[in-house]
């Protein structure tokens, strides 16, 4: 998509997200324009997914590395924030204990060492970013150093996701087992049941999405971004010219994981639960579909793809839940066959008659399948 078109689309999305939605929510409840309070967390969840889509596009669309394991980084960020929210409950839980309810139920006598410090919001926020980043760095260092790429890299990221899911399903791991962490009461002293708190979380998520977009745009338009594009197109030639592709890939891979952790941390207080189902391999595959549908290698396309697909999912899972997987598969096939550049390529097709540009596929799509 043309640069001016990208900024226009971003301005529209930002206006809808940060101005229109809060404005409609503030309209009196008896007005037909009023946006119900229950929709605010739902829209906030969509914005969290848009951050994940940007992170996926950064590593896949602009670096050519397909990851099917980003659900792990998202979930780890969510668990870090969930641990803070559980510690914030204090003695208001079912068992009136300083320990989280699931620990009391399992007859744990003391708080595990890895739960220490999570009674502080700052520490939990740091861990929500640092833990996914550290895991990504270690995993990426071994994988990229071994020159694993293409479908093989996608497979091992999927294996990592499955292994982490099984680990967190175990009760003795210390994260609530298959039930996960839930029944949160407050964040930073504000009740999570209050509409004002939910609106505040939504606005914070919108600001985080805008910041993530600007960060990703800064990276791809810098010298680093040009090297990443070269790695995507022909890594062998980049190595021949003397660039250390390991460090470049490791950097963008770690940044992508940190952004997923941020999205997970914002997601949990809005949906009210985090459990191992967020690590189900199919969730990581869906993240790649968001980017493919929107337009791989176009940041605004990643955002639009996440919003479109998740909006459709929310509608279908209520209206016709048994058909959603078929619709998702059909959408992916249609985009792959007829819109390889994603939905953002439609803008280029509209502009083509006036500009003489008939190429409707973003650069990232043309260079690598």
**Neighbouring residues of 166: CB distance < 8 A, sequence distance ≥ 6:** none
Does residue 245 carry a pLDDT above 80?
Answer: yes
Instruction: Render pLDDT for 134-165 as a digit per residue (tens, 0 to 9).
Output: 999 999 999 999 999 999 999 999 999 999 99
Distance CA 254, CA 141 (A): 10
> What pLDDT does 6 receive?
66
Instruction: Render pLDDT for 344-365 as a digit per residue (tens, 0 to 9).
Output: 888 767 766 555 544 444 544 4
The pLDDT-based confidence of 95 (bands split at 50, 70, 90) is confident
Does residue 1 carry a pLDDT above 80?
Answer: no
Instruction: Render pLDDT for 165-180 as a digit per residue (tens, 0 to 9).
Output: 999 999 999 999 999 9
| Strand ranges in 188-287 using DSSP code E only, listed in sequence order | 190-191, 273-274
* Angle ∠(83,88,90) on CA atoms, nearest 5: 115
Distance CA 80, CA 126 (A): 9
Does residue 93 carry a pLDDT above 80?
Answer: no
The pLDDT-based confidence of 39 (bands split at 50, 70, 90) is very high
> What pLDDT does 345 receive?
84
Say if strands 190-191 and 186-187 run parallel, antiparallel, or are unpaired.
antiparallel
Cα–Cα distances (Å) from 115 to 83, 84, 99, 124, 332, in that order, read 7, 9, 10, 10, 41
Does residue 125 carry a pLDDT above 70?
Answer: yes
Distance CA 44, CA 42 (A): 5
**Neighbouring residues of 358: CB distance < 8 A, sequence distance ≥ 6:** 352
- What 8-state DSSP symbol labels residue 35? P
Distance CA 214, CA 58 (A): 12
> What pLDDT does 366 receive?
45
The pLDDT-based confidence of 5 (bands split at 50, 70, 90) is low
Q: Which of 185, 208, 187 is nearest to 49 (CA)?
A: 208
Tokens representing 179?
Answer: 């039930």
Distance CA 335, CA 315 (A): 20
Length of the chain: 369
The pLDDT-based confidence of 369 (bands split at 50, 70, 90) is very low
Residues 235-254: b if buried by 16+ CB within 10 A, e if exposed: beebeeeeeebeebbbbbbb
> What does pLDDT average to over the chain?
89
Does residue 66 carry a pLDDT above 90?
Answer: yes
49 touches 290 (CB < 8 A): yes
- The residue-averaged pLDDT of 184-200 equals 94
Distance CA 170, CA 319 (A): 34
Does residue 222 carry a pLDDT above 60?
Answer: yes
> What pLDDT does 359 receive?
43
At residue 94, the 3 state secondary structure works out as coil
Instruction: Render pLDDT for 325-345 as a digit per residue (tens, 0 to 9).
Output: 899 889 888 888 888 888 888
Q: Which of 247, 266, 257 is nearest to 202 (CA)?
A: 266
Instruction: Render pLDDT for 292-322 as a digit per residue (tens, 0 to 9).
Output: 999 999 899 999 999 999 999 999 998 888 9
Among the residue ranges 3-12, 125-134, 239-248, the one predicted with the least confidence is: 3-12
Does residue 285 carry a pLDDT above 90?
Answer: yes
Percent of the chain's residues with pLDDT above 70: 92
Q: Which of 294, 79, 47, 77 is nearest to 168 (CA)?
A: 79
Rg (CA), the chain: 21
Q: Which of 50, 47, 54 is nearest to 220 (CA)?
A: 54
53 touches 305 (CB < 8 A): yes
| Strand ranges in 132-272 using DSSP code E only, listed in sequence order | 181-182, 186-187, 190-191
The pLDDT-based confidence of 56 (bands split at 50, 70, 90) is very high
């Amino acid at each position: 998509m043309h640069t001016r078109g990208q900024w226009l689309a971003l301005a529209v999305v930002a206006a809808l997200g940060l101005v229109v939605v809060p404005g409609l929510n503030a309209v009196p409840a008896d007005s037909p324009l009023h946006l119900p309070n229950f929709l605010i967390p739902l829209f906030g969840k969509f914005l969290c997914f848009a951050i994940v889509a940007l992170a996926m596009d950064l590593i896949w669309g602009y670096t050519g590395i397909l990851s099917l394991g980003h659900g792990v980084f998202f979930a780890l960020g969510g668990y870090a924030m969930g641990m803070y929210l559980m510690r914030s409950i204090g003695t208001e839980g079912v068992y009136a204990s300083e320990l989280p309810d699931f620990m009391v139920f399992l007859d744990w006598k003391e708080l595990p060492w890895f739960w220490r410090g999570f009674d502080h919001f700052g520490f939990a926020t740091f861990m929500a970013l640092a833990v996914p980043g550290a895991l990504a760095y270690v995993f990426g260092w071994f994988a990229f150093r071994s020159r694993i790429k293409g479908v093989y890299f996608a497979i091992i990221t999927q294996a990592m996701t499955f292994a982490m899911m099984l680990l967190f399903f175990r009760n003795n791991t210390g994260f609530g087992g298959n039930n996960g962490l839930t029944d949160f009461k407050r964040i930073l002293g504000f009740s999570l049941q209050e509409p004002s708190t939910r609106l505040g979380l939504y606005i914070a998520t919108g600001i985080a999405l805008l910041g993530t977009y600007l960060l990703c745009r800064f990276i791809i338009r810098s010298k680093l971004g040009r090297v990443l594009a070269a790695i995507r197109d022909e890594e062998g030639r980049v190595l021949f010219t003397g660039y250390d592709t390991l460090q470049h890939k490791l950097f963008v891979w770690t940044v992508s994981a940190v952004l997923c952790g941020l999205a997970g941390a914002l997601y949990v207080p809005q949906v009210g639960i985090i459990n191992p189902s967020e690590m189900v391999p199919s969730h990581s595959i869906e993240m790649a579909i968001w980017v493919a549908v929107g337009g791989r290698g176009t940041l605004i396309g990643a955002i639009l793809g996440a919003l479109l697909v998740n909006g459709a999912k929310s509608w279908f899972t209520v209206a016709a839940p048994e058909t959603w997987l078929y619709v998702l598969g059909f959408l992916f096939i249609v985009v792959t066959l007829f819109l390889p550049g994603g939905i953002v390529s439609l803008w280029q097709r509209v502009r083509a008659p006036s500009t003489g540009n008939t190429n409707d596929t973003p650069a990232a799509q043309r260079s690598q399948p």
